[in-house]
Chain A
């Protein structure tokens, strides 16, 4: 179970993984090079050009305020991917620290963090996030904080479980018997041995975060209107669904392709790692 090494070639042999990796790469490239690729200013309003069909000047048409949909999608991917990666990094690093500490040290540290985690896990994720956003007010920053608060316990628990089984392993005992300091054991024996599983968790977490950030923006709780974001675009185009269905199709496609890609990639990694059960 422990000697997992992801081989890149093995990943490449899986078609879904390959396709999703390519999609993710395209999205990331688009986000990074948005200022170069975007034909128009994403926030420039020109009511005279509202609701245009796709044409050479506007590759994906314009929205109800005459803004270029393609440019908005590109800039939107910056927000979506950036924010969700941030959520993932915060989530994973917080839960790594807590999970490893609780799992390895045990005792009261374990009790405190896990009972605290139990409290967070007792509420449905979405409800908890909504409550926190409701208290702190809408906005990207608050949404991110709320998502991390709602999610850390879940990952901390999984990581703690992995650490628990590793802690009992013979090689950790062997290291302790030869007088290796705990910190060194954590860093050189425990962490490398759970890194592959954590990578899977991280990949799956990004997909989840994209979906939720867009979802909250759609509800008007996340990113606020002038800023281009997929969820916001989806919300804005809702009223034009019958007259201009394309307006809703593009951001929807972006969200689903990004989420599906990250999930497929995570699944492929999981398969390669030979992990059983659901994460």
Chain B
């Protein structure tokens, strides 16, 4: 990996094991990510593959019984080495976090303004009018009409889409250098999704903020991210520049993922056969092996190391088949053409 000095956020070889009564859940199995200044990294993967766990753990917010190994650096400082109070000062100030479920991420007993006040005052002294002013500015930016009223409303009075945008505003209020967006569009309907995507694009254009975008929606990620990491069962199976990964997917899982996107055609939707493996007592080797159409004898013992295949494109597969379905993907057009947000 290149040691670029512009690297804002870096996760190195992160393992998360969760001991349970039934056995150990291997939630994250040695992932490595890095985000440079102004860059947007999309982390794609299906539900339960460890996306959220990796991010929370990377910020040191894991539950107490999790067993964690690995290193996370934020602005070249290792997060796990920070004292709790130093960590607290970093969170919110340097990293903004957009939570998965906006409806549950607000305290029902306090108003939106109090949420803003709390976030701002945890990091700096600010008068009430200053809080209101900066909150209003940001709410306006995230496109909330009637924003003055919103501040005095309770979370229960706002819709999911509004709360999502309030949360984005909350995450951005202290002008963090890194924004982690954990499935920012999952709880929203399609119109709102496209609004949020637009918002992210605008954010990316107008500032040099780095974004870690987590989603299971490949199209959404492809339209925003500069770089894509595909996650499966706690492993990163493919990583590379967006164009490269979308137009030339090398890992069978990524291929399956791209083929199973809904399209406006009468063809039957492609599905990946089988189910994702249980992360409980995960066996060695490739976790995708049972569902893979190009598996071979090497798969059950494959080390899952990422191999470079040119153009910054990394894949962890025992049988990299570079010729596969280039035309098949192109047949349906690249996602940038088909998806208009």
Bound Cα distance from A189 to B110, whole angstroms: 9
**What residues make up the interface of B, taking CB atoms closer than 8 Å to A?**
56, 59, 61, 64, 88-93, 95-97, 99-101, 104-110, 114, 118-119, 122-123, 156, 167, 170-171
Does A49 sit within 8 A of B, measured CB to CB? no
B104 x A179 contact (CB < 8 A) = no
B99 x A107 contact (CB < 8 A) = no
Which A176-190 residues have C-beta < 8 A from chain B?
Answer: 176-181, 184, 188-189
**What residues make up the interface of A, taking CB atoms closer than 8 Å to B?**
2-3, 106-107, 169-171, 173-181, 184, 188-189, 192-193
9 pairs from A and B in contact (CB 8 Å cutoff): A3-B108, A169-B104, A173-B105, A178-B92, A179-B88, A180-B92, A184-B118, A193-B107, A193-B109
- Shortest Cβ distance from residue B85 to the other chain A in the assembled complex, whole angstroms: 8
Contacts of B107 in A (CB 8 A): 171, 175, 188-189, 192-193
By beta carbon, the residue of chain A nearest B90 is A179
B118 x A107 contact (CB < 8 A) = no
Bound Cα distance from A178 to B94, whole angstroms: 9
Contacts of A193 in B (CB 8 A): 107-109
B156 x A176 contact (CB < 8 A) = no
Closest 5 CB pairs of A and B: A179-B92, A178-B92, A179-B91, A170-B104, A3-B108
B106 x A174 contact (CB < 8 A) = yes
A192 x B109 contact (CB < 8 A) = yes
B92 x A177 contact (CB < 8 A) = yes
A171 x B122 contact (CB < 8 A) = no
Contacts of A181 in B (CB 8 A): 88, 122
A106 x B99 contact (CB < 8 A) = no
B101 x A175 contact (CB < 8 A) = no
By beta carbon, the residue of chain B nearest A177 is B97
Contacts of B100 in A (CB 8 A): 170
- Shortest Cβ distance from residue B11 to the other chain A in the assembled complex, whole angstroms: 16
Choose from B97, B101, B118 the contact partner of A188 (Cβ within 8 Å). B118
Bound Cα distance from A63 to B95, whole angstroms: 75
Bound Cα distance from A249 to B83, whole angstroms: 65
- Shortest Cβ distance from residue B232 to the other chain A in the assembled complex, whole angstroms: 25
